């Protein structure tokens, strides 16, 4: 997967699109962070609503919220790594 992305990136740079690719990586990084922030905020909001409706299920709701938030953070971390690798690949 990374080889395919690297080959596509190398072809884009060779075709003269290197300056656009340097701008695209930070923009993609920012969009990933914004999306993760919105997603985790939405998860927290819905969890608080659910706990307010059923206080006896607080433990299960809280654990489900933590699992969902960690999955969102994992995907965000992966997106950030890909963006940083793209920048590194362009610089070398």
69 part of a folded domain: yes
Is residue 10, in this structure, part of any structural domain at all?
no
Question: In this structure, is residue 6 part of a structural domain?
Answer: no
Residue 91 lies in a domain: yes
Domain residues for the domain of 46 are 36-92
54 φ/ψ angles, rounded to the nearest 5 degrees:
-130, 85
User: Tokens 């080959």 identify what position?
Assistant: 7
> 86 is written with which tokens?
């793209």
Q: What is the distance between the alpha carbons of residues 45 and 13, in angstroms, rounded to a whole number?
A: 43
Asked whether residue 71 is domain-assigned, the answer is yes
In a domain, 75, yes or no: yes
How far is residue 40 from each of residues 31, 47, 58, measured CA to CA in Å?
A: 14, 10, 18
User: Per-residue pLDDT tens for 55-69?
Assistant: 999 999 999 999 999
Q: The domain spanning residue 56 has which CATH number?
A: 1.20.20.10
Does position 5 have pLDDT exceeding 60, yes or no? no
> How would residue 11 be classed by pLDDT, with cut points 50, 70 and 90?
low
Which pair of structure tokens corresponds to residue 54? 């059923």
Neighbours of 52 (CB within 10 A): 9
């Amino acid at each position: 997967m990374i080889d395919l992305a690297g080959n596509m990136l190398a072809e884009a740079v060779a075709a003269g699109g290197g300056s656009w690719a340097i701008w695209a990586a930070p923009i993609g990084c920012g969009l990933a962070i914004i999306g993760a922030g919105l997603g985790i905020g939405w998860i927290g909001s819905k969890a608080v609503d659910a706990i307010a409706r059923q206080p006896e299920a607080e433990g299960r709701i809280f654990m489900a919220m933590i699992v969902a938030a960690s999955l969102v953070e994992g995907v965000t971390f992966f997106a950030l790594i890909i963006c940083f690798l793209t920048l590194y690949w362009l610089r070398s």
